């Protein structure tokens, strides 16, 4: 995933905007989904989704072609100003060979999700040059804490550069750096290795998070990606939550060990990932990571207008 020469900024959202809700990965809990829809409505948005979003095929939210079509239709619909995901799980990887990246680049819009949706966030940036957003989805938004909702609004509605603070910061390696922010769920990104969509984070600040992975698996995935060259020349590392992955100190020691040959700043403790709060973070936009002061400060807004 090489850096693109220019970035497409979606238009910022405003009260009254219609936003599409899609399910690119796994089926979801309808009650939690509806609570998330209510939150969007409370923010002044008009969620739009078809009955097709409720399709299931085993562990997938319908056939691959169906889920890819929902993505294409949402980007092409002139009434839609943003695209939100119902849930992660698994399935976005299966869509990459079906997506029309020229179509997506021709209709830049706010696109937000996390977990399995990390695949789409990174590929939309690398293949389309589209700034995307790592943040909450419908299944969790309905029960989100106020900081999650506020960060969501600040990032997508305000049009101002944002600063993400690591409230529980742990400085694994001190220092500061500048770079384009990208990354997401470690397990999901690791599964891109060896494909045409393999991450290349040269010059990037890489944000990583995960859930339910034992420490040795975290070590294995990081080592695999390092040996594959994914982390060569990174600017720095920002770590989100690693819920149910063992003791945090052990996870942090793994990162320190895997990246012991470098001198990049590594800051843990961002409220990003499979926990609450889950702050919205733009991908594809340059920021400054200040490990010692616990901040990720963006140079510019990730939305236009």
Domains of the chain: 18-156 (3.40.50.10740), 163-298 (3.50.30.60)
Catalytic entry in 209, 213, 241, 301:
209
Catalytic residue chosen out of the listed positions 25, 74, 115, 182: 115
pLDDT in tens, the chain (305 residues): 444 558 999 999 999 999 999 999 999 999 999 999 999 999 999 999 999 999 999 999 999 999 999 999 999 999 999 999 999 999 999 999 999 999 999 999 999 999 999 999 999 999 999 999 999 999 999 999 999 999 999 999 998 999 999 999 999 999 999 999 999 999 999 999 999 999 889 999 999 999 999 999 999 999 999 999 999 999 999 999 999 999 999 999 999 999 987 789 999 999 999 999 999 999 999 999 999 999 999 999 999 98
pTM of the full predicted structure? Answer: 0.96
- Work out the burial of residue 94: count CB atoms within 10 Å of its CB; fewer than 13 is exposed, 13-18 middle, 19 or more buried: middle
Which of 126, 182, 274, 301 is the catalytic position? Answer: 274
Any catalytic annotation for residue 204? no
209 has catalytic annotation: yes
Q: What are phi and psi of 42, to 5 degrees?
A: -65, -30
Interior angle at CA 157, CA 151 and CA 159, nearest 5: 100
Instruction: Look at the alpha carbons of 200, 202, 204, 205 in this order and tell me if their dihedral is positive or negative.
Output: positive
Which helix (H) or strand (E) segment holds residue 120: the answer is: helix 118-128
Active site residue 274: yes
Could you give the residue ranges of the DSSP H alpha helices within 129-280?
A: 138-141, 146-156, 186-190, 215-227, 248-258
The Cα–Cα gap between 188 and 174 comes to: 27
Distance, CA of 114 to CA of 210 (rounded, Å): 10
SS3 290: strand
């Amino acid at each position: 995933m090489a850096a693109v020469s220019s970035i497409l900024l979606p238009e910022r959202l405003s009260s009254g905007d219609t936003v599409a809700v899609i399910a690119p990965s796994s089926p979801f809990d309808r009650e939690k989904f509806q609570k998330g829809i209510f939150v969007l409505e409370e923010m002044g948005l008009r969620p739009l989704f078809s009955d097709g979003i409720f399709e299931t095929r085993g562990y997938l939210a319908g056939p691959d072609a169906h889920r890819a079509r929902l993505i294409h239709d949402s980007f092409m619909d002139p009434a839609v100003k943003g695209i939100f995901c119902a849930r992660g799980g698994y399935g976005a990887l299966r869509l990459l060979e079906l997506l029309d990246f020229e179509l997506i680049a021709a209709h830049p819009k706010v696109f937000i999700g996390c977990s399995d949706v990390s695949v789409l966030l990174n590929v939309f940036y690398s293949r389309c040059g589209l700034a995307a957003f790592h943040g909450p989805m419908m299944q969790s938004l309905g029960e989100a804490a106020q900081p999650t909702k506020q960060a969501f609004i600040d990032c997508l509605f305000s049009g101002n550069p944002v600063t993400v603070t690591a409230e529980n910061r742990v400085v694994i390696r001190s220092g500061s750096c500048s770079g384009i922010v990208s990354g997401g769920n470690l397990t999901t990104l690791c599964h891109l290795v060896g494909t045409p969509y393999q991450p290349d984070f040269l010059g990037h600040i890489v944000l990583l998070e995960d859930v339910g992975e034992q420490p040795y698996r975290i070590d294995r995935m990081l080592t695999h990606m390092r040996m594959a060259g994914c982390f060569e020349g990174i600017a720095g590392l920002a770590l989100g939550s690693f819920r149910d992955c063992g003791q945090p100190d052990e996870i942090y020691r793994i990162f320190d060990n895997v990246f012991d040959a470098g001198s990049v700043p590594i800051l843990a403790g961002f409220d990003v990932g499979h926990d609450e709060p889950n702050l919205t973070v733009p991908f594809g936009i340059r920021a400054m990571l200040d490990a010692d002061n616990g901040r990720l400060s963006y140079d510019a807004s990730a939305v236009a207008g």
